[in-house]
Chains A and B, each alone.
Chain A
Amino acid sequence: MGRGLFKQKNGLYAVDVTAACGVMTPAQLTGLARAAVDNNAFRIKLTTRQTVVVLLPEGNVSALEEALEPLELQVSPFGNVVRPVKACAGNSSLCPRSLGDALDLGVEIQARYLGRETPKDFKIAVAGCPRGCTDPYCADFGVIAAGNDRFRIAIGGMGGSNCPRHGEIIAENVPRDKVFTVLEHVLERFEVLAEPREKLGRAVERLGLTPFLPPAGLLSAEKAVLAADDEFVQFLQN
Chain B
Amino acid sequence: MTSIRSAGEVDLAALDRPLAKLCLNCDLRDTPDCREAACLAGFARKVLKFAISKGILDIPGAAGLIPGHDFKPYYPEMIAAGLAETCRQCRECRDNHSPDCVISLVRHSLENMILTENIDYPGSVFAYLAAVKERNPDLAASLAKQLRSGQNSA
Residue positions of A touching B, CB distance < 8 A: 95-97, 99-100, 129-131, 147-148, 150, 226-229, 232-233, 235-237
Contact = CB atoms under 8 A, between A and B. Distances in A.
Contact of A100 (B4, B7, B57, B60): B60
A130 B46 contact: no
B37 A236 contact: yes
Interface stretch (B18-26, B61-69, B111-119, B138-146): B61-69
Given A148-B60, A229-B62, A95 B4 contact: yes
B58 A228 contact: no
Contacts of A96: 4-7, 55-57
Interface of B: 4-7, 36-37, 43, 46, 49-50, 55-62, 64-65, 95-96, 98, 100
Contacts of A229: 59-62
A232 B100 CA distance: 12
A235 B5 contact: no
A97 B61 contact: no
A200 B37 CA distance: 47
Contact of B37 (A147, A148, A237): A237
Contact of A99 (B5, B50, B100): B100
Given A229-B60, A232-B59, A232-B62, A99 B98 contact: yes
Nearest to A97: B5
Contacts, number: 59
* Nearest 8 CB-CB pairings of A with B: A228-B61, A147-B60, A96-B6, A148-B60, A236-B37, A229-B60, A232-B59, A235-B50
Contacts of A235: 46, 49-50
A100 to B, nearest CB: 7
Contacts of A95: 4
Contacts of B62: 228-229, 232
A131 B61 contact: no
Contact of A236 (B7, B36, B55, B100): B36
A144 to B, nearest CB: 11
Given A96-B7, A237-B37, A228 B60 contact: yes
Nearest to A227: B61
B96 A99 contact: no
A147 B59 CA distance: 8
A224 to B, nearest CB: 11
A94 B116 CA distance: 38
Contact of B61 (A129, A130, A147, A237): A147
Nearest to B5: A97
A81 B64 CA distance: 41
B43 A148 contact: no
Given A96-B55, A147-B100, A236-B36, A228 B4 contact: no
Given A95-B4, A97-B4, A99-B60, A131 B65 contact: no
Contact of B64 (A100, A131, A226): A226
9 contacts: A96-B56, A96-B57, A97-B5, A129-B98, A131-B96, A228-B59, A229-B62, A232-B65, A236-B46
Nearest to A230: B61
B145 to A, nearest CB: 33
Given A147-B100, A232-B62, 8 more contacts: A96-B56, A99-B98, A131-B96, A226-B64, A228-B60, A229-B60, A235-B46, A236-B36
